[in-house]
Amino acid sequence: MTGEYQRPLAAPGGLRLHLNENTAGCSPRVLAALEALTGEDIAFYPDYGDVEHETAAFLGVPRNQLVLTNGLDEGIFVAIVAAARETVAGESGIRPEVVVPLPAFDMYGVTARAVGAQVVEVPPQQGFRLPVASLLAAITPRTRIVFVTSPNNPTGVRVSLDEIGEVSAALPPGGIVFVDEAYHDFCGDTALPLLATRSNVIVGRTFAKGHGLAALRVGCLIGHAEVLARIRTIVPPYSLNVCAAAGLRAALGDRDRLAWYVAQVDRSRRLIYTLCDRLGLTYWESGANFVLVRVGARADEVVSKLAAQSIFVRDRSGEPGCAGCVRITAGVVDHTEQCLLALEEILCGVR
Ligand SMILES: Cc1ncc(COP(=O)(O)O)c(C=O)c1O
Q: Summarize pLDDT for 239-265 with one digit per residue, the tens.
A: 999 999 999 999 999 999 999 999 999
Give the mean pLDDT of 224-253. 96
Give the mean pLDDT of 12-31. 94
Residue having the nearest C-alpha atom to atom 7 of ligand 1: 72
Q: How confident is the model at residue 101 (pLDDT cuts 50, 70, 90)?
A: very high
Give the mean pLDDT of 81-97. 76
Least confident of 10-24, 104-118, 153-167: 10-24
pLDDT exceeds cutoff 70 at 334: yes
Give the mean pLDDT of 311-331. 97
Angle between helix 333-347 and helix 255-279 axes, rounded to 10 deg: 20
Q: What is the pLDDT of residue 269?
A: 98
Task: Work out the mean pLDDT of the chain and round it to a whole number.
Answer: 95
Q: Show the 3-state SS of the chain.
A: CCCCCCCCCCCCCCEECCCCCCCCCCCHHHHHHHHCCCHHHHHCCCCCHHHHHHHHHHHCCCHHHEEEECHHHHHHHHHHHHHHHCCECCECCCCCEEEEECCCCHHHHHHHHHCCCEEEEECCCHHHCCCHHHHHHHCCCCEEEEEEECCCCCCCCCCCHHHHHHHHHHCCCCCEEEEECCCHHHCCCCCHHHHHCCCCEEEEEECCCCCCCCCCCCEEEEECHHHHHHHHCCCCCCCCCHHHHHHHHHHHCCHHHHHHHHHHHHHHHHHHHHHHHHHCCEECCCCCCEEEEECCCCHHHHHHHHHHCCEECEECCCCCCCCCEEEEECCCHHHHHHHHHHHHHHHCCCC
pLDDT exceeds cutoff 90 at 341: yes
Rounded Cα distance between 270 and 336, Å, is 10
Q: What is the pLDDT of residue 349?
A: 81
Q: What is the pLDDT of residue 1?
A: 44
pLDDT exceeds cutoff 60 at 287: yes
pLDDT exceeds cutoff 90 at 85: no
CB 122 within 8 A of CB 138: yes
Q: What is the pLDDT of residue 98?
A: 97
Q: What is the pLDDT of residue 63?
A: 96
CB 200 within 8 A of CB 148: no
State the amino acid at position 95 in one-letter form: R
pLDDT exceeds cutoff 70 at 87: no
Q: What is the pLDDT of residue 61?
A: 97
Q: Which atom of ligand 1 is nearest to the CA of 74?
A: 11
In the reported structure, the alpha carbon of residue 67 is separated from the centroid of ligand 1 by a whole-number distance in angstroms of 16
Residue having the nearest C-alpha atom to atom 12 of ligand 1: 182
pLDDT exceeds cutoff 70 at 350: no
Angle between helix 242-252 and helix 28-35 axes, rounded to 10 deg: 140
Q: What percent of the chain has pLDDT over 70?
A: 94
In the reported structure, the alpha carbon of residue 73 is separated from the centroid of ligand 1 by a whole-number distance in angstroms of 6
State the amino acid at position 319 in one-letter form: E
- Enumerate residues lining ligand 1, CB below 6 A: 20, 71-73, 105, 149, 153, 180, 182, 206, 208, 214, 219
Q: How confident is the model at residue 90 (pLDDT cuts 50, 70, 90)?
A: low
pLDDT exceeds cutoff 80 at 8: no
Give the mean pLDDT of 172-197. 97
Q: Which atom of ligand 1 is nearest to the CA of 217?
A: 10
Rounded to 5 degrees, φ, ψ at 113 are -65, -35
In the reported structure, the alpha carbon of residue 311 is separated from the centroid of ligand 1 by a whole-number distance in angstroms of 22
Q: How confident is the model at residue 312 (pLDDT cuts 50, 70, 90)?
A: very high
Residue having the nearest C-alpha atom to atom 13 of ligand 1: 182
pLDDT exceeds cutoff 80 at 10: no
Rounded Cα distance between 23 and 19, Å, is 10
Per-residue pLDDT tens over the stretch 188-209: 999 999 999 999 999 999 999 9
State the amino acid at position 269 in one-letter form: R
Per-residue pLDDT tens over the stretch 104-130: 999 999 999 999 999 999 999 999 999
In the reported structure, the alpha carbon of residue 32 is separated from the centroid of ligand 1 by a whole-number distance in angstroms of 25
Q: How confident is the model at residue 28 (pLDDT cuts 50, 70, 90)?
A: very high
Q: How confident is the model at residue 298 (pLDDT cuts 50, 70, 90)?
A: confident
**72 vs 16, 36, 75, 112, 325, CA distance in Å?**
21, 26, 5, 15, 26
Q: How confident is the model at residue 88 (pLDDT cuts 50, 70, 90)?
A: low
Q: Which atom of ligand 1 is nearest to the CA of 19?
A: 14
